Amino acid sequence: MKKIVSTTSDVHAYTHFENLDCYMSTGDKPSRLCVIYGPPPSKQNCFTNTVFVEEWSSYLDELAVAPQQLIITDPFLVNTRGNSSVDHMAIHMKLDIGKPKSKRKEITFRKPRAIPVLDFIKDIDSTPSLQYTSGSVDDLISAYDSGIRRLIDKHTTLQNSGEEQN
């Protein structure tokens, strides 16, 4: 399974369109998906093509220097004749975002079921730090913790296993 790391940002507030920037990275290929939505100009919303074009130009200027591969959806919400009947269409695309290199991760674990229960109980009963009944709560917790850790170390060994992760 490919792992895609993404973050979103809405840095600028435009008055005539909304934008959502998604920064994605798979391995060493950063991409930026820019989703744009702008309601068509109308008398009710007082939007004009002129302001839209000015804001759109400003946004494109910002995108022109972006270091990521750009994917812009719905860039022309109003056609050049001012006809606002342009409908939103589905967008299908193939992205070249190769599979990230596998990383090997070391996992350290114990097998608690391999502990000989009777021997473990016997060691608990004979470990002085596990028999304390007086002292501060912090001292008792510390003594119990270190005593149990020593017994776990004695009865089970740490094992390492490597596993591939994508």
The answer to whether residue 119 scores a pLDDT higher than 90 is yes
Does pTM top 0.85 for this prediction?
no
Tell me which DSSP letter residue 93 carries: -
Give the sheet arrangement for strand 29-37, strand by strand: 5-9, 18-26, 29-37, 69-73
The answer to whether residue 3 scores a pLDDT higher than 80 is no
The answer to whether residue 7 scores a pLDDT higher than 70 is no
Residue type present at position 53? V
What mean pLDDT do residues 128-140 have?
87
First CA to last CA distance, the chain: 7
> What pLDDT does residue 81 have?
44
> What pLDDT does residue 6 have?
54
* pLDDT single digits (tens) 68-118: 888 887 755 444 445 545 555 555 666 666 666 778 888 888 888 888 999
What b-and-e string marks burial along 87-108, b requiring 16 or more CB atoms within 10 Å of the CB? Answer: eeeeeeeeeebeebeeeeeeee
What mean pLDDT do residues 27-53 have?
80
Question: Residue 152, Cα to own-chain centre: how many angstroms?
Answer: 35
> What pLDDT does residue 11 have?
58
The DSSP H or E segment spanning 148 is: helix 137-155
- 78 three-class SS: coil
> What pLDDT does residue 146 have?
92
